[in-house]
Amino acid sequence: MYALADCNNFFVSCERLFRPDLNGRPVIVLSNNDGCAIARSNEAKALGIGMGAPLFKIADIIRRSHVAVFSGNMALYGDISRRVQQTLMEFTPAVERYSIDEAFLDLRGMEPVDFDALAKEVSRRCLRNTGIPVSVGIAPTKTLAKIASKLCKRYPKLRGGCYMYRAEDIVKVLRKFPVEDVWGIGRRFSKRLTELGIMTAYDFTTLSPEWVRAQMSIAGVRTWRELRGEACIGFEEGFQAKQSICTSRSFASEIYDFDALAEQVAKFASMTAEKLRRQHSACNQMTVFAWTNRFKEEWVSNRGNSCVTVFEMATDSSIEMVKASRASLGEIFARGCGYKKAGVIATSIIPKDGVQANLFGDTDVQRHDRLMRAIDAINGRMGHDSVIVASQGFGDVRNQHQYRSPRYTTEWSDIPTVSLR
């Protein structure tokens, strides 16, 4: 058996955790630069605020219905997510973090257990320990566990936990479950399936595996088999190294100056290098991209330019990657254009201990490694960006966070204070 623990409206729940006055009130959380809604309370959904709705388009609803608006507070959300995961590990050490608000639990070998009671206890303890409501679905496969967790959100009488295992119950649920909501189907395939009259998850299971493989490849067959109760999506315990790493941001306002944009790109390159070092990897290739405002027709020719750097030897050095990022930006930067988004992508990633040395290279690799370890140690002890590459500049990434709440659990200065009279 597998379980999926899914935090309900996670970002909104985190904001309500320290603001109980928001319970019962419509709440939304915005994306980078306060552009669009990426999380909505049930009350906000009832008002018709859709996922990804631009802020300027829902301004009237916000004003008329007194919707509470928050900028994304990822430091807070990440810390609360860690606390939820620690609670999940009290039930089993085999926890696979799927996203910031979801995690799979491997329950194989725990039979015989009252899984319905276990699902409800996991939900109850997460709420007690963290204050975050969590829906827990347990089923024979990961895909069915995802569906079971969605049922918890739809039917409050389940009290946060749903154990779905009997074949007749699974068929009954799949007959009513929209095919576009099935994990692994995706938007493109769901559109194709609905055009063919395949509207529910059950309809999908009635297709032949040969047809599914021809139309949706082996990934589609795995989903088909999972819906039929055959576990075939593996469980990934522990940390999985990423095969590509992207660090990018949209800017609050357009950037016209090369040096100002180069500072932002240098920050992204340094952040990407830090991510590589955290997973003990190095990259052979790095891509820098810069996008102009897509609504400005006069900049259409420079809308999505990018430049690729291939390193002589795989690297995780902030110095090397920052230096390369500035050179790459110089290749694609167009004067007179305002850039709205930029980023750095590391690819061709290999384990750090598998890097092939270059006898004829100019870089002193061992010296760089020692320096990076020292910088990471100082930043870990003294705070992020205490030591940086000078090319990054000293300003923050140009994001707009007009409605951000305090970082209650990660900043001493933001800890709530209470006065006793």
Q: Which of 19-23, 190-194, 302-306, 352-356 has the highest mean pLDDT?
A: 19-23
Instruction: Assess whether 160 and 175 both reside in one domain.
Output: no
In a domain, 152, yes or no: yes
What pLDDT, in 10s, does the model give residues 206-215?
999 999 899 8
Last residue of a domain, one of 108, 141, 165: 165
Number of domains in the chain: 3
Instruction: Assess whether 158 and 188 both reside in one domain.
Output: no
Mean pLDDT of the residues in the chain = 88
What pLDDT, in 10s, does the model give residues 107-127?
887 767 899 999 999 999 999
pLDDT at position 304 is 67
Buried-exposed string 119-146: b where 16+ CB fall within 10 A, e elsewhere: bbebbeebbeebbbbbbbbbbbbbbbbb
pLDDT at position 24 is 92
Angle between helices 318-332 and 258-278 (to 10 degrees): 140
Last residue of a domain, one of 240, 260, 293: 240
In a domain, 309, yes or no: yes
In a domain, 209, yes or no: yes
Q: Is the pLDDT of residue 395 over 70?
A: no
Instruction: Assess whether 252 and 355 both reside in one domain.
Output: yes
In a domain, 418, yes or no: no
CATH of the domain at 234: 1.10.150.20
Instruction: Assess whether 275 and 230 both reside in one domain.
Output: no
In a domain, 192, yes or no: yes
Instruction: Assess whether 2 and 100 both reside in one domain.
Output: yes
Classify residue 357 by its DSSP letter: P
Last residue of a domain, one of 187, 208, 240: 240
Instruction: Assess whether 5 and 103 both reside in one domain.
Output: yes
Instruction: Assess whether 75 and 206 both reside in one domain.
Output: no
CA angle 134, 54, 298 (to 5 degrees): 140
In a domain, 399, yes or no: no
- Residue 7 half-sphere exposure, CB side, CA atoms within 13 Å? 31
pLDDT at position 299 is 63
pLDDT at position 171 is 94
CATH of the domain at 19: 3.30.70.270
Q: What is the mean pLDDT of residues 115-140?
A: 95
Q: Residue 252: which domain range?
A: 245-392
Instruction: Assess whether 96 and 214 both reside in one domain.
Output: no
Classify residue 337 by its DSSP letter: P
Instruction: Assess whether 36 and 91 both reside in one domain.
Output: yes
pLDDT at position 39 is 93
Instruction: Assess whether 24 and 158 both reside in one domain.
Output: yes
What percent of the chain has pLDDT above 70? 92
Instruction: Assess whether 40 and 150 both reside in one domain.
Output: yes
Q: Residue 253 — very low, low, confident or very high, per pLDDT cuts 50/70/90?
A: confident
pTM attached to this predicted model: 0.75
CATH of the domain at 373: 3.30.1490.100
What pLDDT, in 10s, does the model give residues 262-302?
999 999 999 999 999 998 999 999 999 998 877 666 666 56
Name the strands in the sheet holding 27-30, side by side, starting at the edge strand that comes first in the sequence: 37-40, 27-30, 68-71
Q: How far apart are CA 147 and CA 186, in angstroms?
A: 15
In a domain, 409, yes or no: no
Instruction: Assess whether 1 and 139 both reside in one domain.
Output: yes
In a domain, 410, yes or no: no
